[in-house]
Amino acid sequence: MSNVESLQQYKGLSVGDNLPELIQAVDQNMIDAYADASGDINPLHIDPEFAKTTFFGRTIAHGLLTLAFVSRVLSQWNWNGWAYGGELNVAFLGPVYPGDTVRVSGEIESIEHRDDGVYACCQLVCHCAEKAVVKGYAICKI
């Protein structure tokens, strides 16, 4: 049976600490470049005429482009813990439109000492203006 002990602090990190914030403007050029780089050419992202016929009424950014910004935050904060064993669990709550600015923020919600090391669980949220568009959490070894 595994043991888990909750900690308030570890190696200078504390529950409640903020992760570095990231602010990224998104425009259609960036969405097109991501479509080209990822091969995800769903017309909802790159074809304004098609996008007009959808629920959204215009093109939207790939959800996974927004997750790339989340990954940049976690890479900057704790590269090894994120790249080697990191976990991400998010829900997409709303679209990011060309012209939006995405703000990624995060906070250490808990620190756990498990059998194989100490892990931080970080709450994450991406906002466009006041609207949350992605919400979830990441778990990284620290």
Binding site for another protein (CB under 8 A): 24, 30, 33-34, 36-40, 42-44, 50, 54, 60, 62-65, 67-72, 75-76, 79, 82-92
Min CB(9)–another protein separation in Å: 26
The phi, psi pair for 50, rounded to 5°, reads -65, -45
Q: 3-state secondary structure string, 53-95?
A: CCCCCCCCCCHHHHHHHHHHHHHHHHHHHHHCCCEEEEEECCC
Min CB(62)–another protein separation in Å: 8
Q: Is 104 helix (H, G, I), strand (E, B) or coil?
A: strand
* Residue (26 or 108) nearer to another protein, CB: 26
Q: Hunting for tokens 């590269």 — which residue is that? A: 79
Question: Which one-letter amino acid corresponds to residue 78?
Answer: N
For residue 97, what is the enclosing H or E element?
none
* Residue (4 or 33) nearer to another protein, CB: 33
Q: Which one, of 81, 82, 57, 62, lies nearest residue 71 by Cα?
A: 82
Min CB(46)–another protein separation in Å: 11
For residue 142, what is the enclosing H or E element?
none
* Residue (10 or 92) nearer to another protein, CB: 92
Min CB(107)–another protein separation in Å: 20
* Residue (15 or 22) nearer to another protein, CB: 22
Min CB(8)–another protein separation in Å: 26
* Residue (62 or 127) nearer to another protein, CB: 62
